[in-house]
């Protein structure tokens, strides 16, 4: 069964540099293609596909399409199509598998959204054909390639050449299985309209992040954090929406599903990670993608050994009595989690780390530093044990760790300046 998210695409200045960076997470080259407009590398990790797209140096803006929106080559969409030069590296395309490309595209168009590529079909003589379209989201530069592969047996998409690679043994993999969620960062006050757009276009439903998540206001993280989060997820096999298998009558999540999270800063907030993203990215967009693993300690250990740099929580995080009890009662190794910087959050009432049936209900997660040179997109790694939320307490810890790091860098820069001034200034003779 195909996951709802077929692939995630990023448009970058230096594709090979980005490819090298993502190999640290365990991604391996799966397919590639070169066209008159772009170079593309398809990388795979578990069931996760990323496309790295680099615009050709001789690309002429607006040359991909004409006035009838017929695009010159299949699959190609760039974040910088209307620009004379690529400026900001960005993750901008979250591709969805759908049951009927024509119907979903028509619904999106009827709701006033922009259709970049009308429904069309691309054939591969050996493996069949794929139907697809491309629509523009209401959130920043985000687009969605809508795909149906019912009549296709190839390993990725027509036009991409599969790369023969040596099958790695288990010691060379990082253990990631699938995409857990995708988070969109938007301007203050816009989260409700974005949620409504995805509900109307794709049949998604509002999803409660935690017991403090209000249906209208979302989950508000104040106390110096200044964020509002809202989430949505596709549960039902709606005829208007995405391709998603119902796993049980209790609506349990599985690896084929998708959760979209929308995060915005609260009014008046200027010094928070979302506002930083909006400034550096020059507008709303995909803030991060969370990769799911069943064994986060092993996954993070391997990624660190491969060169991934993760954010470290505040020093006091693991010293809090409540957090120590949570980790010990669940049976995790406090020393190991602290060494790696892994965060833990539970979803039950205070003082009750287990559900009535005795099973634990918690999640563990960690956040990497930004993938690109600007403070924009980053990757999260998450393990779930019965938990369905996002770890609101850990988000607070993340924000605080970012601020602590900024203060440390400012202090180091100030000290460096003072030292340089001492060296350059003439010494007085007493």
pLDDT at residue 54, rounded to an integer: 97
- Is the pLDDT at 110 greater than 90? The verdict is yes
Average pLDDT for the chain: 85
C-alpha–C-alpha distance, residues 135 and 392, integer Å:
32
Mean pLDDT of 77-103: 93
pLDDT at residue 207, rounded to an integer: 84
As annotated, the residues of the chain forming the CATH 3.10.180.10 domain(s) are 5-162, 178-244+254-407
- Is the pLDDT at 12 greater than 80? The verdict is yes
- Is the pLDDT at 319 greater than 50? The verdict is yes
pLDDT tens for 253-276 read 556 678 999 999 998 887 788 999
pLDDT at residue 356, rounded to an integer: 59
Provide the pLDDT confidence category of residue 97 given band limits of 50, 70 and 90: very high
- Is the pLDDT at 419 greater than 90? The verdict is no
Q: Is 322 left (phi over 0), alpha (psi -120 to 50) or beta?
A: alpha
Lowest mean pLDDT among 146-150, 305-309, 378-382, 401-405: 401-405
Yes or no: say if 403 and 359 are a contact pair by the CB < 8 Å rule: no
Yes or no: say if 230 and 195 are a contact pair by the CB < 8 Å rule: yes
pLDDT at residue 414, rounded to an integer: 73
- Is the pLDDT at 416 greater than 70? The verdict is yes
pLDDT at residue 313, rounded to an integer: 85
E strand or H helix at 382: strand 378-385
pLDDT at residue 165, rounded to an integer: 65
- CATH number of this structure's domain 178-244+254-407, picked from the four choices 3.10.180.10, 3.30.300.30, 1.10.357.10, 3.90.420.10: 3.10.180.10
pLDDT at residue 325, rounded to an integer: 80
DSSP for 9-68? EEEES-HHHHHHHHHTTT-EEEEEEE-SSEEEEEEEETTEEEEEEEE-TT--TTTTB-TT
E strand or H helix at 303: helix 296-306
What's the whole-model pTM score?
0.88
CATH superfamily of domain region 5-162:
2,3-Dihydroxybiphenyl 1,2-Dioxygenase, domain 1 (3.10.180.10)
Instruction: Report which of 245, 225, 223 is spatially closest to residue 235, judged by C-alpha positions.
Output: 245
294-323 core/surface letters (b: 16 or more CB in 10 A; e: else): eebbebbbbbbeeebebbbbbeebbeeeeb
Lowest mean pLDDT among 20-24, 304-308, 424-428: 424-428
Of residues 306 and 223, which shows the higher confidence score?
306
Lowest mean pLDDT among 5-14, 34-43, 216-225: 216-225
pLDDT tens for 27-48 read 999 999 999 999 999 999 999 9
pLDDT tens for 148-193 read 999 999 999 999 999 976 555 445 689 999 999 999 999 999 999 9
Name residues whose C-beta falls within 8 Å of residue 106's C-beta, 6 or more positions apart in sequence. Answer: none
- Is the pLDDT at 243 greater than 60? The verdict is no
- Is the pLDDT at 352 greater than 70? The verdict is no
Helix (H, G, I), strand (E, B) or coil at 278: helix
C-alpha–C-alpha distance, residues 264 and 416, integer Å:
35
Ranked by mean pLDDT, the top range of 39-43, 246-250, 419-423 is: 39-43
C-alpha–C-alpha distance, residues 233 and 231, integer Å:
7
pLDDT tens for 122-148 read 999 899 999 999 999 999 999 999 999
Longest CA span, the chain: 89
- Is the pLDDT at 404 greater than 90? The verdict is no
Neighbours of 171 (CB within 10 A): 6
pLDDT at residue 328, rounded to an integer: 80
Helix (H, G, I), strand (E, B) or coil at 378: strand
pLDDT at residue 359, rounded to an integer: 67
């Amino acid at each position: 069964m195909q996951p709802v998210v077929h692939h995630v695409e990023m448009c970058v200045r230096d594709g090979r540099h980005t490819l090298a960076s993502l190999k640290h997470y365990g991604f391996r080259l799966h397919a590639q293609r070169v066209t008159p407009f772009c170079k593309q590398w398809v990388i795979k990790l578990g069931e996760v596909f990323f496309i790295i797209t680099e615009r050709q140096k001789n690309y002429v803006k607006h040359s991909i399409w004409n006035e009838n929106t017929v695009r010159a080559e299949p699959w190609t969409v760039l974040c910088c199509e209307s620009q004379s030069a690529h400026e900001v590296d960005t993750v901008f395309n979250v591709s969805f598998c759908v049951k009927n490309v024509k119907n979903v595209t028509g619904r999106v168009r009827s709701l006033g959204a922009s259709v970049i590529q009308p429904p069309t079909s691309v054939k591969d003589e050996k493996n069949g054909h794929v139907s697809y379209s491309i629509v523009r989201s209401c959130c920043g530069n985000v687009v969605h390639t809508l795909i149906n592969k019912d009549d296709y047996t190839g390993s990725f998409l027509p036009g991409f050449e599969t790369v023969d690679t040596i099958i790695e043994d288990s010691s060379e993999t990082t253990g990631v299985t699938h995409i857990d969620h995708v988070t969109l960062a938007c301007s203050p006050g816009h989260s409700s309209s974005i949620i409504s757009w995805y509900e109307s276009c794709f049949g998604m439903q509002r999803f409660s992040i935690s017991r403090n998540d209000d249906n209208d206001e979302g989950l508000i993280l104040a106390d110096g954090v200044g964020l509002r989060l809202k989430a949505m997820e596709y549960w039902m096999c709606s005829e208007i929406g995405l391709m998603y298998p119902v796993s049980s009558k209790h609506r349990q999540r599985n690896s084929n599903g998708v959760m979209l999270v929308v995060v915005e800063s609260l009014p008046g907030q200027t010094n928070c990670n979302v506002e930083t993203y909006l400034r550096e990215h020059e507008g709303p967009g995909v803030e991060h993608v969370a990769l799911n693993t069943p064994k986060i300690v092993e996954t993070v250990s391997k990624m660190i050994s491969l060169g991934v740099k993760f954010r470290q929580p505040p020093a006091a995080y693991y010293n809090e009595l409540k957090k120590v009890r949570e980790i010990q009662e669940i049976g995790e190794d406090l020393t190991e989690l602290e060494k790696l910087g892994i965060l833990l959050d539970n979803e039950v009432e205070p003082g009750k780390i287990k559900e009535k049936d005795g099973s634990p209900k918690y999640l563990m997660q960690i956040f990497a530093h930004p993938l690109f040179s600007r403070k924009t997109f980053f990757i999260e790694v998450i393990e779930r044990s019965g938990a369905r939320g996002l770890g609101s307490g850990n988000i607070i810890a993340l924000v605080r760790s970012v601020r602590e790091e900024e203060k440390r860098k400012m202090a180091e820069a100030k000290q460096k300046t003072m030292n340089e001034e001492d060296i350059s200034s003439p010494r007085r003779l007493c």
